[in-house]
Amino acid sequence: LFFSDYTGYPFPTAPPVDPFAKIRVDDCGKTKGCFRYGKPGCNAETCDYFLSYRRIGADVEFELSADTDGWVAVGFSSDKKMGGDDVMACVHDDNGRVRIQHFYNVGQWAKEIQRNPARDEEGVFENNRVTCRFKRPVYVPREETIVDLHLSWYYLFAWGPAIQGSITRHDIDSPPVSERVVSIYKYEDIFMPSAAYQTFSSPFCLLLIVALTFYLLMGTP
């Protein structure tokens, strides 16, 4: 007996993968803290670098995004200098995946640490941007390479290229750093202009603009 239409059970299919939920910036300064580096008014999809953090129970959720095809990272430091820092990085590998890795800065060198406190990891590479989201515990057992986030730290912001899934030197010589220590219990929305938008913010440039304006208004004798 032959049936032209198959009426049995369908073959199993892989469960659907939820798309990466876009990072919202309207919550910045309200229900999460944010740092934006780049053009004034930029958001998580247009800033050179973007980071957000918020407490969720016993965890802190971080969202990172940067204009790069390699990696984006945040470091937790006791000062504003690279060295002795706990670093979380989202790395775009050759297979198109974005993996969350844990590093410890030994001087100017980032050493990968196998013990990774990240969980609920997700990441995506789209429009030449690496974007990720992950959680890590607020409190951790005493460990040199993993800091307690209930304490306040300077945040180091960095991004750069990767070769075969391994991070290389960051894109700019002096990556931005938070002006003061950051507390996960205080939500702010902080903007830091990139170098291209700092030209006219220095006192010398402002003085020069005032002098030229005065000269043009008064005219030559």
pTM of the model: 0.80
Q: Please determine, for residue 208, whether its predicted confidence score (pLDDT) is greater than 70.
A: no
What pLDDT does 160 receive?
Answer: 94
- On whether the 33-218 domain is CATH 3.40.50, my answer is no
The residue among 93, 156, 168, 177 whose CA lies nearest residue 130 is 93
Banded model confidence at residue 215, pLDDT cuts 50, 70, 90: low
- Tens of pLDDT, residue by residue over 6-36, are 344 343 433 445 689 999 999 999 999 999 9
Domain boundaries, the chain: 33-218
